[in-house]
Amino acid sequence: MNNKIRFGIMSCASIVPRFVRGLELCGLGEAAAIASRSLEKAQKTALELNIPQVYGSYEELLEDSTVEAVYIPLINSLHFQWAERSLLAGKHVIMEKPFVLHEEQAVRLAQLAEEKGLFITEAVKTPFLPVFADIKKIIDRKTLGEIRFMHLRQSYTGGSYIAGWNTEKEAGGGVLYGNEAYFFHMTEFLAGKIASCSGSATYGPSVEDQCSLSAVTESNILASLFVSSRVLFSNGLTIYLDHGRIEVPDYWKASEAYVYEGDVLKETISYPCRYEFRYELEHYCSLIREGRLQSPVTPVSSSGRYIGICEGLYRQWEAERP
């Protein structure tokens, strides 16, 4: 008997193939339908990814009674609208980052999902990667002492991240909305609840093209983020502890990490996986089948709180712009 969760996918965004392959690897869900405002584009993507049902509108997708859950990788400004409509149509929701653009929208979606008895989450893969499970054990065992500082770095100067709607304020573009989820979720996953956060940014014609954030957790751990679409640098995460450090290249899709005691490499953590989506989808699909409404790892309350922090930063930056 096929007990896989049948997903409908909203849009043919570049991230969709990785989501579909992740579903296949996790074995708990399947891509049953895909929709785009361009039927021709949806048909092409469906053929490439072996998705059986195709729709030329998102409304048609939501009318499909065989679709149990919806994956939403639309442009940022459309997240709330289509998540709300999906919940009203009786569908579980997994939504790409950033979850929404306003904290009050996250509150509304959480309340609606609870009323409807439906699961909803922001799709954040990093806490579920096996590399970070091992790193968390090292931190909790305190073999290298206490964690003191985390430094996260991400840069890109080409591709879709610096073009199209990603450069438009009204669409929810900018490097903060593009990267905040990883920073906030991973800081709290590894170092505890954030007590305060401050930051600064430089701007392009419309949206911020660089930002630097500093957060302090309730356990007095400092975490920093630097993101740039202007210059390239070494991407990754460095976790500093009393007696060593942990280096995680490309932390948002980590397959390796290097553990140092002092300056001596003591351990290499390695979990190669081409489609890292599989781990979060194993978690989310299991919760849906159990009848759970939210993930204890990526709860909507956290996603909403993080967006609230971003809203405050944006108000400050707009007021300070030359």
Given a contact cutoff of 8 angstroms between Cβ atoms, the answer to whether 94 and 284 are in contact is yes
**CA Rg, the chain, in Å?**
20
Given a contact cutoff of 8 angstroms between Cβ atoms, the answer to whether 113 and 93 are in contact is yes
pLDDT tens track for 5-39: 999 999 999 999 999 999 999 999 999 999 999 99
pLDDT tens track for 41-91: 999 999 999 999 999 999 999 999 999 999 999 999 999 999 999 999 999
Beta strands in 45-170 (DSSP E): 53-55, 69-72, 92-95, 120-122, 147-155
Reported confidence tier of residue 158, pLDDT bands at 50, 70, 90: confident
pLDDT at position 2 over 80: no
pLDDT tens track for 262-297: 999 999 999 998 889 999 999 999 999 999 999 999
DSSP assignment of 271-308 equals: ---S-THHHHHHHHHHHHHHT-SS-SSS-HHHHHHHHH
What pTM does this model have? 0.95
* Third-level CATH fold of 126-275: Dihydrodipicolinate Reductase; domain 2 (3.30.360)
| Cα separation, 153 vs 141, whole angstroms | 26
| Cα separation, 278 vs 10, whole angstroms | 19
Q: What percentage of the chain exceeds 90 in pLDDT? A: 94
pLDDT tens track for 231-247: 999 999 999 999 999 99
Reported confidence tier of residue 308, pLDDT bands at 50, 70, 90: very high
| Cα separation, 256 vs 268, whole angstroms | 7
**In this structure, how many other beta carbons lie within 10 angstroms of the beta carbon of residue 292?**
13
- Provide the pLDDT for residue 275: 85
Q: What is the CATH number of domain 5-123?
A: 3.40.50.720
pLDDT at position 1 over 80: no
Q: CA dist 8 to 23, 84, 91, 304, 311, Å?
A: 12, 15, 9, 24, 31
Write down the domain spans for the chain: 5-123, 126-275
Same CATH topology for 5-123 and 126-275? no
Region 182-207: what's the mean pLDDT?
Answer: 96
- Provide the pLDDT for residue 273: 84
| Cα separation, 183 vs 124, whole angstroms | 11
pLDDT tens track for 54-67: 999 999 999 999 99
